[in-house]
Amino acid sequence: MKILSIESSCDETAVAVIEDGRHILANQVYTQIAIHRKYGGVVPEIASRNHVMKMPFVVQDALDEAHLDFQDIDAIAVTKGPGLVGALLVGVSEAKALAYALDKPLIGVNHIEGHIAANYLAFPELEPPFLALVVSGGHTNLVIVKDYGLNVILGRTRDDAAGEAFDKVARVLGYPYPGGPAIDKAAQTGDEHAVEFPRAMLEDGSYDFSFSGLKSAVLNEINHNKMKGIDFRKEDIAASFQAAVLDVLTDKTVRCAEENHVKKIVLAGGVSANKGLRKRMSQVGKKHGWQLYYPPLSLCTDNAAMIGARAYYDYQLGRTSDWHLNAMPGLELPGVVK
């Protein structure tokens, strides 16, 4: 089954063609990073304006890359949420029109589930059940994927997602957008023990996350140094901040894996591109005998391939959409909350 998938939840205009949820026939991403950089972050209105003009080109590029025509496509998939509402609406409207005109099924896909499914593309042998740590700009989740159709959600973010904290800290340190990769790079030459930032573990046994306290602590530290004229290395702040985030993420993942007797661990989401996180998880994984999976960098950031991969399983489960499909900016990861 060949699915043409569309992703426009933020500032990437992306279209892919995926076969049977596992094989990438085309994966086109038009990134708007250069457009948004001068504003220090994504401007939703500008992102939406670019999506609507770029989309037909990216659709055509994906078909060309796959050497296919619309007639060869069996279904149309699209990110329905979460994301920026105006940006999502472009992809949703386009996908609905394509599906209606071609008389093909329409599959609205949850973007967070898409991030998890990126691993299905990279690892043909990977099947549920497994424990997934999803870390992105808007979401931090610890979830046991029991089956393709059932998530048991153990932890979620209570305030700022990890990626959000990365972006804000980067901005204050004066790194260009997107801030995550910049912090990661700076952290590699900084001293992670330079500043002892708080690690919010929340109450005993909780797998939820909170990064707003850490974010404030970092911003206070920077402001304090600036006010008092104290010299500081940006790299040290970046390294100390990143170490605090990674401590929380790894500690909770380890505890969760042990308590639930899971050895198969999957990283997903934009922040899974973070070299520090990958390295730390690999070290911890070796110690605990994990089979650790994380997607190649090209599938960590937003892309449509992961949406097409997830769409295949949604379709198998009968989770298709009708012509009323709307953008759902505040959509959560579906599943049973434990």
Partner 1 sequence: MKLLMIDTSTIVATAAVVDENRLIAETIVNYKKKHSEKMLPAIDHLFQDSGMKLSDMDAFGVVNGPGSFTGLRIGMATAKGFAQALEKPIVTVSTLESLAYNACVYPHYICPVIDAQRGQVYTALYRFEGNTTNSILTSYLSEGVYGIDTLIEEIKAKNEKEEPVLFLGDGLKKHGRQLSEISPKIQLMPAYFAMNRASSAAAAGYQKLSKGETVNYFQAGLNYLRKSSAEEQMEKKQGKIDG
User: Footprint of partner 1 on this chain (CB under 8 A)?
Assistant: 38-39, 43, 45-46, 48-49, 51-53, 55-57, 59-60, 70, 85-86, 89-98, 100-102, 322-327
Nearer CB in complex with partner 1: 91/269: 91
Q: Does an H or E element contain 155, and which? A: strand 150-156
Nearer CB in complex with partner 1: 97/317: 97
CB of 307 to partner 1, least distance (A): 16
Nearer CB in complex with partner 1: 53/317: 53
CB of 60 to partner 1, least distance (A): 8
Nearer CB in complex with partner 1: 117/328: 328
What is the amino acid identity at position 160? D
Nearer CB in complex with partner 1: 81/276: 81
Nearer CB in complex with partner 1: 8/303: 8
Give how far Cα 194 sits from Cα of 14, 69, 241, 294, Å. Answer: 40, 57, 10, 29
| Cα dihedral sign, 16-19-23-25 | negative
d(CA 201, CA 143): 17
Nearer CB in complex with partner 1: 98/244: 98
d(CA 10, CA 188): 28
CB of 56 to partner 1, least distance (A): 5
Backbone angles phi, psi at 332, to 5 degrees: -100, 165
CB of 324 to partner 1, least distance (A): 5
CB of 327 to partner 1, least distance (A): 6
Say if residue 128 is preceded by a cis peptide, omega within 30 of 0. Answer: no
Nearer CB in complex with partner 1: 43/150: 43
d(CA 210, CA 245): 10
CB of 320 to partner 1, least distance (A): 15
Q: How many residues are there in the chain?
A: 338
CB of 100 to partner 1, least distance (A): 6
Residues 6+ positions from 184 with CB-CB distance below 8 Å: 242, 274, 275, 276
Residue 149: count other Cβ atoms within 10 Å of its Cβ.
15
Nearer CB in complex with partner 1: 107/257: 107
| Cα dihedral sign, 206-188-270-20 | negative
Instruction: Lay out the sheet containing 264-268: strands in order across.
Output: 291-293, 264-268, 130-135, 140-147, 150-156, 336-337
Residue 260: count other Cβ atoms within 10 Å of its Cβ.
15
Instruction: Give the bridge partners for 153, in sequence order.
Output: 143, 337
CB of 114 to partner 1, least distance (A): 20
d(CA 268, CA 299): 9
CB of 305 to partner 1, least distance (A): 20
